[in-house]
Amino acid sequence: MKDVLIIGGGISGLCVGWGLARRGVRAELWEADERPGGKIRSHREAGYLTEQAAALLLNFRPEVDRFIRATGLAPYKAGRDRAREGRRYLVQDGRLRPVPGGLGGLMISDLWSLRAKLRMLSEAFVPARADDGESVARFITRRLGREMLEKAIDPFVAGTLASDPEAADARCTLPRLTALETRYGSITLGVLVNRLLRRRSAHVHETFSFDAGMERLTSTLAGTPGLTLRTGHRALEIAPTASGWRVTGQNADGELECRARRVVLSVPAPRAARLLAPLDRDIGELLDGIRYAPLAVVHLGLEQRSIRHALDGTGFLTPRREQLNVNGNLWLGSLFPERAPPGHTLLTSYVGGSRHPRRADWGDARLLDAVLADLRPLLGIQGEPDYLRVERHHQALPQYHGHYGARLRALDTRLALLPGIELAANYKGGVSVRDRIAQGLIAAERVHRSLSGSDRPKPSALPLTPWPAGQG
């Protein structure tokens, strides 16, 4: 019998496996695909290095820094230009405008009107509220005003999360901002306090990738000593036993079975719903109610001399009011070396999401025309690209919409009835690679603690005995 069976070999499952192996736990990981990594995949073609999904890692968490060092990945970080890394743009009135850094820069910038600046300066005097299920749009408008929502937060939520600020749960989507209100009563005061505290620490915020692309991360984790990785293994059914769980599945050779004391599900919510619904109908319904946004990732390779803009930054995001086809654009050829042939650069655009879900299904030619229609006037592009690659994800990112916090709490309550089942996927705790690493390590620690408890009851047969919340 295995200590732990992890179902799903994306970044979440791989991080759980790495964390368990580091603690000496005998873990086996099943991945239905023939390769691990989930949506993280790097592709080299015609001198360009493109990403199927996540293109970089934006980190401000010390535990992620420690993880990168412990995995031996630190020497493989892709070099980047610090000046370019820190500069970001927004589209305003059909042209790119640099986003100011810090409160001082914001106050002298003409991105916002005088009325909006006065509204933001008065944020510290806005009474704090604890509105469960409050949307991002309501939270930001209440604290910082409508203009901040429309010009800054809307493009961030739509461009990086493929989400809708009018529907997204603020506490789940913007946990750092909502936590500042909860702790300090104000975002502004919280930012100032945290900035002072940060000056006393050695931690550096940074944006990076890896020399061979983001797949370097997942391929390294897949080779973790002590973790048994089995690709081409699809889980079909989970059933309780006297000492844990029995998982039946299928591979190219036929049916298979694994018995484990603990099972970690690191698969998309609909897949987890199908596995858990026979055990608990409510869990199945809660998971099945999580919606995903479709997304098309459009990579364009161009000669640098054909672009008038200096591409002196990370890229740009687009507010809804600008009515553009792309939600955002990354200048990866400028950020990282060897992403494009000499004299060329790589531009990566994101189309679809909650803002325009049907556009993700457009054909390559239509997507190319739509993206170029946006980029030509913004970047001053002349001529045609010499490289095009389109990646489509029909279920790209989970949407933390509606009363999402209540949904997660209900999930935790129901999971307490299934001791030994753990959920670790991007519909819990954030969708970024940074968050998936951090949450995977937290899940590994939680599973390890549960295995260490010798007096913990084991599932025997349905119906299951209730399990105290917060102990498994």
- Give the burial class of 468: count Cβ atoms within 10 A of its Cβ; 0-12 exposed, 13-18 middle, 19 or more buried: exposed
- The predicted pLDDT at position 465 comes to 28
- The predicted pLDDT at position 188 comes to 85
Reduced 3-state DSSP string for 418-444: CCCEEECCCCCCCCCHHHHHHHHHHHH
Cβ(265)–Cβ(424) below 8 Å: yes
Of the pLDDT bands very low, low, confident and very high (cuts 50, 70, 90), residue 463 is: very low
- The predicted pLDDT at position 310 comes to 95
DSSP alpha helices (H): ranges in 199-290? Answer: 215-222, 269-276, 281-288
Structure tokens at 114: 């005088």
How far, in Å, CA of 132 to CA of 58, rounded?
A: 28
Cβ(395)–Cβ(427) below 8 Å: no
Indicate the range of 9-18, 180-189, 321-330 predicted with least confidence. 180-189
- The predicted pLDDT at position 447 comes to 97
Of the pLDDT bands very low, low, confident and very high (cuts 50, 70, 90), residue 368 is: very high
- The predicted pLDDT at position 109 comes to 82
How far does CA 81 lie from the centroid of its chain? 23
Structure tokens at 139: 């939270």
Mean pLDDT on 301-320: 96
Of the pLDDT bands very low, low, confident and very high (cuts 50, 70, 90), residue 471 is: very low
Pairing of strands 89-92, 42-45: unpaired
How far, in Å, CA of 469 to CA of 218, rounded?
A: 32
Q: Cis (ω within 30 of 0) for the bond into 165?
A: no
- The predicted pLDDT at position 105 comes to 72
Mean pLDDT on 12-39: 97
Mean pLDDT of the chain: 91
Judged against a pLDDT cut of 90, whether residue 272 lies above it is answered with yes
Indicate the range of 181-185, 231-235, 257-261 predicted with least confidence. 181-185
Q: Is 123 helix (H, G, I), strand (E, B) or coil?
A: helix
| Closest alpha carbon to 451 in 19, 15, 11, 14 | 19
Digit-coded pLDDT (tens) for 52-78 = 999 999 998 999 999 999 999 999 998
How far, in Å, CA of 13 to CA of 80, rounded?
A: 28
Q: Which domains does the chain have, with CATH numbers?
A: 2-39+214-291+401-452 (3.50.50.60), 42-61+76-83+292-398 (3.90.660.20), 103-196 (1.10.3110.10)
How far, in Å, CA of 285 to CA of 278, rounded?
A: 11
Judged against a pLDDT cut of 80, whether residue 467 lies above it is answered with no
* Angle at the Cα of 341 from the Cα atoms of 335 and 343, rounded to 5 degrees: 80
Indicate the range of 214-223, 333-342, 459-468 predicted with least confidence. 459-468
Cβ(378)–Cβ(318) below 8 Å: no
Report which secondary-structure segment, H or E, holds 235: strand 234-241
| Closest alpha carbon to 127 in 192, 174, 185, 180 | 185
| Closest alpha carbon to 42 in 161, 208, 210, 160 | 210
Of the pLDDT bands very low, low, confident and very high (cuts 50, 70, 90), residue 107 is: confident
Pairing of strands 315-317, 89-92: parallel
Backbone angles phi, psi at 390, to 5 degrees: -120, 130
- The predicted pLDDT at position 103 comes to 63
DSSP-based helix, strand, coil % in the chain, nearest 5: 40, 25, 35
Of the pLDDT bands very low, low, confident and very high (cuts 50, 70, 90), residue 141 is: very high
Judged against a pLDDT cut of 50, whether residue 328 lies above it is answered with yes
How far, in Å, CA of 139 to CA of 179, rounded?
A: 12
| Closest alpha carbon to 347 in 300, 296, 387 | 300
Percent of residues, the chain, with pLDDT higher than 90:
82
DSSP state at residue 307: B
- The predicted pLDDT at position 472 comes to 27
